[in-house]
Structures are given as C-alpha cells and as structure tokens.
Amino acid sequence: MARSYVSEARRRGLGRRRERIGPIIERLAAEYPDAGIALRFRNDLELLVSVMLSAQTTDATVNRVTASLFRKYRRPEDYLAVPREELERDIYATGFYRQKAKAIRGAMQMLLEEFGGEVPHRLEDLVRLPGVARKTANVVAAELGHAQGIVVDTHVRRLSQRLGLTRHDDPVKIERDLQRVVPRADWARFSHLLIWHGRRVCHARRPRCEDCVLEDLCPSSRLR
C-alpha cells in the first residue's frame, strides 16, 4: 500500500517528498496550533513514567492513574521503596501492569546508579533504561527539548504512508525516511501534527478526505 502511494504521488504530479513536506507541515500547523502531547506531567521523571505507562493504553487512562501516582511517587527512590506488588496495584488500570512495574523499577534503579537520579536527555542513554525502546526515548527527548529523532506511532505510520512520504511498514525505516525530508527543527512537532490529524480527520478505516487540509497534496485521497 505505502509503495503505491509513493509512486502515485509522482504519477499525479504532486511533487517530490521534499517539495511537499513544507506545505504539509505549514497547513497542519495552521490547522492544529495547539498540537502537543496529551500526557500530564510536571517534571522530567513524571514525563518518563507517563510515557512508559502509555504503552497499549490511552493517554486519558494514564492521566487518571498518574493524578494520584505522582502524589505518592516523587523521586526514583520512591518507586523502589515499596513492594513491587504495591506499585503494580497503583498502575493496574494502565494494563500490562506487571511488565510496566518491573520496567519502571528497573529504570529507577539505573537512574540512581548511573545518572545521579536524573532523567538523561541523550537518546543513546534513554534507550538503555529498562522498558524504554526507541519510540519512548524519542518522545521523552523531544518533550525535554532535545529531539534526536521522529516519533513513529500508529498514526504517524499510517499518515506517512498515505501521504507518500515512505514506502515502508517498519517504524525504524519510516523514521529514517522522515528524517531525510522533515527539517530537523520540526522533528518534535511533526509527530504531534500527524497524530492530531490522524485522530481527527485521517482515520484508519474511513479517512475524511473531504475535510482534509492536505487533500490536494495527498496521493491516497479518496476524492480522486
């Protein structure tokens, strides 16, 4: 599917990816001026934990859980001071609570042992933390103002393919394609823009092409 959209963009004369990316970003930024992360946090540690908890659940669920969680756990030491079962109960509503509790405790231990209890900003350090894969690390780094990659979630993958910005399905390869065309200054906000557009207009099953600000730039438009 993604491969045909890359070719379709050329066939329809929509221009190369580098030519279209500027207008794509500009239009989405105008449409969603408040696009940003939906998770609620007050510091670097809360950001890290929120993102780790967000796997396989909704941001709204995470925010409900962390409203009380962050009153109880304020430092890395706090997550290690209670029995694992207690932390599991505190994050139960986010799903996969056993794996998440184990990962959080492991990350807290490493923060204390290797990073002075502080959340690192470098991607290569973040991905060393237990339970922190590249997607999570990219989110954390970007929100800390040190974007070193582009977050590729299900929305970003779907829209990047439909817009003919990549021919791949693998998130790592998609990120590599996006990094080649998206200006580095826009790496952090680009994912937010696609996510917001994917949630509001470019739905997985039935995209609302008639309401899309990118329709004339999109090789997968259903109106053509």
- C-alpha atoms less than 13 angstroms from C-alpha of 123 in its C-beta half-sphere: 14
Q: At what angle do helices 171-181 and 17-31 cross, to 10 degrees?
A: 90
User: Where does a domain end: 143, 162, 179?
Assistant: 143
Task: Indicate which CATH number applies to the domain containing 95.
Answer: 1.10.340.30
Tell me the Ramachandran region of residue 37: left when phi exceeds 0, alpha when psi lies from -120 to 50, beta otherwise.
beta
Report pLDDT digits (tens) over 70-87: 999 999 999 999 999 999
Catalytic residue positions, numbered = 135, 153
pLDDT at 42: 97
Please report, for the domain that includes residue 196, its CATH number: 1.10.1670.10
Query: Do 138 and 48 belong together in one domain?
Result: yes
In the prediction, which pLDDT does 151 show? 97
What global pTM score does this model have? Answer: 0.91
160: containing domain? 2-36+149-217
What does the pLDDT look like over 110-150, one tens digit per residue?
999 999 999 999 999 999 999 999 999 999 999 999 999 99
